[in-house]
A and B are shown apart, each in its own frame.
Chain A
Amino acid sequence: MDSTVIGGWIAAGLTLFMFSSLYKDNPFYRFGEHLYLGLSVGYIIIKVIYANIIGGLYKPFFEDQQYLLIIPTILGLSLYTRFFPKIAWISRITFAFIVGYGSGLTIPRIIAGGIFQQIEKIITPLGKNSATWWDIFSGIIIIIGVVSVLIYFFFSVEHKGVVNKISRVGIYFVMIAFGASFGYTVMARMSLLIGRSYDLIEFATPKYYYATLILLVLMVLILVLYESTRKKEEGSKDNA
């Protein structure tokens, strides 16, 4: 039995463990959940130690003599002074550096690439010489949508009269957007189920020694036994 087959059995088993929660909470599901949490945290810690601490600090510092790395190292370590109230103020230096550097780098780009670019593209189709009737129509719809939704979320003025009518239009745009997002979310969730089902079907083939089928039968039997034992125990407790 090679590692692919063993991997198939583990994957099939854990997938069935997680799907078992659709029936009700049970030990299989709880085991799978805890295993997933433990494994992913352990994996991330090891990857970070190897990539950041060994690959990004230890090797360049000791092997390539990049001694300037001492500055970010001290700044990084100073964050841990948060755990010691008397010297916690030291961490503020690093936080100031992170906030200052991050804001300076991010804010102009988001304003230019996010906000201005969106506004520019909303307006452009109406003024373009080569714009088709469809472009103009789409542009008008987008402008109506943007304006009405902005007015809907503008709470400094009471929503009465014209403002109320425009904000009502805004609600319809918001609902259509939510509907589209929800439709795509359903599609995404179905895709995930398809992905797991596809693998379960594959693991049910002779190549994997019918892993899915054997594990499913075993799981059902154990769950039935577990339920009947639990009910008996509950019954005896009630009688007592």
Chain B
Amino acid sequence: MNALLKKMANLDRRIIYVLISLAIVIPLLYPLFIEVNVNPEAKAVYDTIDNLPSGSTVFLAMDFDPASKPELYPMAEAVLRHCFSRDLKVIGMTFWVTGVGLGEKAFTDIAKEYNKQYGTDYLYLGWKAGGYALVIQMGEEGISAAFPADHYGRETSTMPILQKVSHLKHLDYLVELAAGGSIGTWYYYGKMKYKFKMGGGCTGVMVAGWYNLMKIDWINGFMGGLRGAAEYEKLINKKAKATRGMDAQSVSHMLIIAMIIFGNITYFVNRAKGNK
């Protein structure tokens, strides 16, 4: 028993990797269909979009890259599905040069699902350097001044979608999907001056901080990590990748909790027995 305890205290980390891998892969192969409860934060984003009149314009800022794809891409798809199903117009862009392709894929795939027309129902501006200067230009001179050409090089000023919504102040809602600090850029240089409504979604690492942003009215709601994406999928009644990932998430969390408890017990028992 003593030897076993010593061995457990010095467990090879690769065994833990294998256990975690199994805890993730098995539920993905054999779903458990664990129920996802919707938090008020994600519901607030859903309600805002759901209550917009048909023809309103939502701006989707997709400020992430492939490193955050598993968490934020399902959110982008879910928000786009919700907007297109309600006949809302969507304008998208990204501050992350390595995320341009993800934005394009999300817009193209979901627009095809709902038979939406480019330039009239949706527009993908792509990426441009500038950060806050770009936001200020979109607010002062207009979206087409900041992006004379869209992601594909087409002229934006003549596009029907930008005739009614030419500046940031005309937006009905802005959804910021962030893997970094771009929420500050949109708030300080966008919302503070042009007073549009803002919600969003963030990676799991950022969730604790975003509760604060909601409390101080930077955003009216948000989706937090993969769970937030799964909540939104439940709200729009279209269970996709995020919902399927929640089973694996729950099982892996249970395993981690078990390992923390087990590790602590082993440590204290070893200490009591004088083992190192």
Contacts and interface: CB of A to CB of B under 8 A. Distances in A.
Say whether A associates with B. yes
Interface of A: 22-23, 40, 43-44, 47-48, 51-52, 55-56, 105-106, 109-110, 112-114, 117-118, 120-121, 177, 180-181, 184-198, 201
A189 B252 CA distance: 11
Given A51-B128, A185-B204, A121 B215 contact: yes
B98 A43 contact: yes
Contact of B249 (A105, A112, A114, A187): A187
A191 B187 contact: no
Contacts of A40: 98
Interface in B235-251: 241, 244-245, 248-249
A191 B226 contact: yes
A191 B249 contact: yes
B253 interface: yes
A181 B20 CA distance: 21
Contact of B71 (A113, A118, A192): A192
B203 A188 contact: yes
A117 B216 contact: yes
SS class, residues of chain B in contact with chain A: helix
B192 A55 contact: no
Interface in B188-226: 188-189, 192, 203-208, 212, 215-218, 224-226
Contact of B204 (A52, A177, A187): A187
Nearest first, the 5 A-B pairs at minimum CB distance are A195-B70, A188-B204, A191-B226, A187-B204, A109-B188
Given A22-B17, A197-B24, A47 B208 contact: no
A187 to B, nearest CB: 4
A112 B17 CA distance: 46
Contacts of B189: 105, 109
B111 interface: no
